[in-house]
Each structure stands twice: as structure tokens, then as C-alpha cells.
Structure 1
């Protein structure tokens, strides 16, 4: 990984625009597209349509899409080490086996009926990180959790408004976290051996009128890419928190981004179309599409959840 100083020097001190390589990856108006995850085992892109409860798997080589219907609102879907998928949902963490059978793996906040799980990512040790928020937007009602491969549950951060994007730098000494309504990205010191977070601080601040920070990804140079909901763009920040690039999209509701494709050189971007014609926004024919661009930098690989069903069977 490049040093912080080197990563900033790459841009030559100017704001780089990446839109010249932008193209449509999936021309479908997903209601709330979210959570792109590259599954290197199958060379496919997982992403979800949260409000419709659909998990989609795109094969970029031929453009085909397979869809799994979960039957409830979901936040993210990630591959498991031994096959199957883990899905964050209204009820908690779900496990979908290879046959598509879905069962509740870890209930979370069952007593808070207005809360649901949202975005999620895994570290290289197979720990799943995902958080919650109140669908009534009660201030501070959410939390950020760590779910270990043995299914032990740890509340790592409380008083969260809308838990969203998560990511790590290359050596996993820093974890980035978006609490959307806080208006920025926070960073923690991260202990990869224990999964503990400490020394939380604000990494960048984003003004409300510029958009709401949503999903994020980290590239091989240690830079952070964050989607701006209502902002119509993905921004790239240096490891020191300086804005060094952006990707402008033809839609306002940009939800998330992640690297995939050959050598992780493609950036996939999800967007949303819900309530588009009823809240004062102009019609956007490409709202909800999945986009792709080639920014000239590789990303870091997505990691699977380390859950092994044979070692930790689901209790009926």
C-alpha cells in the first residue's frame, strides 16, 4: 500500500474527475440498490434491492442476473466462507444456504421493532460488521455490531443514527465508518487480531447540502471512496482526509460503491429510485441503475463471512 504522502502525490494536488469512464452495468430501476460486494470465487457482483428484499448476483461477462427473494427488507448480502450467503435484515443476520433456504442466524434488536440492519462488510478474519438504525429516525437509536464467525455478538458502537458504510485500510489498522446523519466519515484504530475498535475520530466532514454520506470502499492506495446520497457523486479522499477526486453520476441518489472485476480495477456504483417522482426531484431515467467505471486504481478485495455451518449449526 502507498504511504499517505505518496497517495496524495499521485493526484498532483488537483481534483481528479473519473466520469469519463462511467458506463451502465445494469439498466434496471432498482428501488433501493445497495451494498455491492465482489465475490471473487465466482467473478460475480452481489448487490441488494433493500426495500424489495432482493439479493441480486450479476455476472459482468454476460450481463446475466440471478435473484434471490428474501421476503423482508434487507440491508446487505455477503458470501460465506463455506458457501451460501449472509444477509442483514429486519430480524437480524440471516443465513441463506446453497439451495436458497433462508434461516435466522443471529437475532439483533428484536425488542426494537422500528429498527433494522443496514450495510455490512467483513474483515479478513471473517468477522461481519453491520449496524442498525431506526426507520422512524429516532436519534441515536442504532448501534454498530461485530458478529464473529462463531456467531458471538458484540455491540461496538452505540448512539448511532443511521449505520452505513464500513471499510478498512490495507493492513486493517484503521476502520472507516459512516453514520449517515452525522454528516461525515469517522475512523477508528482497528485491532485485526481481536476485532476491537478504539480512538474514534472524525475523518472528514461533508456539508448536508452536498449530500449524505452512504456506502464506502477503500482502494489499494489507501484512499476512501464514499457515495453521496442526494449528492449525485462518489468522492475520493486521501488517507489524510483531503478530497482528491470525484465521480459525477446522472442521478442524485447514489447509495454505495465497491471494487470488483478483473484485478479489482472496476468501481461498481449502486443507486436508488424510490419516491423519485413524488418528492420534488426531476425525473431521472437512470435512477436505480448499477454503474461501473475504471478509475485507474485497484481496490481492496471484499472478504467473506467466516461462518461455518458444520461448526456452528443453526438452532431451530
Structure 2
């Protein structure tokens, strides 16, 4: 006997009864207060959350823009401050240079007034490029009273010292033959013992001068560091102007005289100002 399947039949009455019971239960649940949905509150919550999100985004972008603006302002202020500091430092340097220049000029003026002879202040403006001698060019010439063979001194450290003599004169400039030149010869003596000799340049700023013809018996009376001054005997240079100091003493048994290495007092590498001396007229006589 074969099984016979009973076909499914839709029962409308049962479906309607079930739907009625479901809707009734749902209405009963909402009306009892146990489960009440307030759609107004839901909408408000959704809108509030959206507003908070928008406010956060707006605040972020606003803060970023403000931060960028503040950074730009700070950078501009920093640059302006740097420029002010640079201007202040430049002003400080300028003031310091002016003070140093004033002090230097006061010293030069005091030195000029202390000299017993008429003197003409001048500045070193260059070096003579010729091969004849190691000339120093100054900004004073014949129209300022400069003449050939006038002695030249300068003020460095605590006093005056010999620079050389005038060998060429132009209208507005002149050339000095410095004591370190090969062609420069100066009659000199030791300041303490008064032994005399002749100083000759060796051609270089960094090379010591040589003083010859010092009597050999002076060996026990002189020492390194002794000052050498002009003797004034040649009448080309004033008397007792410092030239340098002894840096070495040389003498052989078979020689009758000593040779001394003399370190110039003037530092020619930083020489800027000189005084040309007019030996033909004393300042006291003019005044």
C-alpha cells in the first residue's frame, strides 16, 4: 500500500487569527508602559549626535586654521626679532669701533704734541711695487710740507720708534724707505751701555735687522733684550729714537767686533699711522 501525501492547504481563518493575536499583543506591550518608544527623543538624540559631530569637525578645522595663523605670526615676529638683534649687534660693533678709533686718535694726538719737532701725521696707504726697495706709501706729499730724507717715526705700544725715512716725494703722496730694507742704514747705539754701531736692514719684515761694528769688549756688558736707539750722528735721524731690541749676539774669536740681531720695535705688519719729522725747525722755536 503506497503512502499518499496530503497537500498543504492555506487556512485563511487561521492566518487571520494569528495576525490578530500578534497585533493585539504588540499593542498591549506598547500601551502598558513596559516598552515605550519615544520617537521624539530618538530624533533629538540623532540630531544631537550629528550636531556634536559637525561641531567637532568644525572645531578641528577652526583650531588648525588658528594654529597655522598663529605659527605664521610667530614666524614673522621671530624674523623681525632676529633683524632687530642683528641691527643691535651692528650698532654695538660700530660704537665699539668708534670708541677704539677715538682712543687711537687721542693717543696719536698726544704723541704728536709730545714731539719736540714739527711733525706731519700721515697714513700708510699701500706698498710700493717696485723692485728698488720695500717702500711704504703715505698720503702726504710736497703740498703738505714733506721733503726727501725726512725721518719717519710711529707710535706703537708705549712709545715712539723709528720707521724709516722719505725717499720719494709726490704732490699728495710719498714713499718711505723702512729700516728693514737692504738699502737702509741707521747709526745707532745701545741705550744702556752707549756702545755704537751701524744697523742695516735685511730685506724682510720678519727678518731681524743686523747691527755691526760693536766693539768686542762690549760682550760682557750687553744682553738679549737690550734696547737700541738712534745715535743722531748722521743727522738723518733724531737722537735717541728706539729702533729695536737685541734678539741675538754673535761674535767669533778671530773677529774684532760683534754682530747683533735686532728685532724692530715697530710691527710693520700692522703699521697704519706715521709721523714725518721736520728736523729743520723745532716746534718750540715756531711757537
The bucket for the TM-score relative to the shorter chain is under 0.3
Whose relative contact order is higher, 1 or 2, with alpha carbons under 8 Å and at least 6 apart? 1
TM-score by length of 1: 0.23
Structure 1 or 2: more helix by fraction? 2
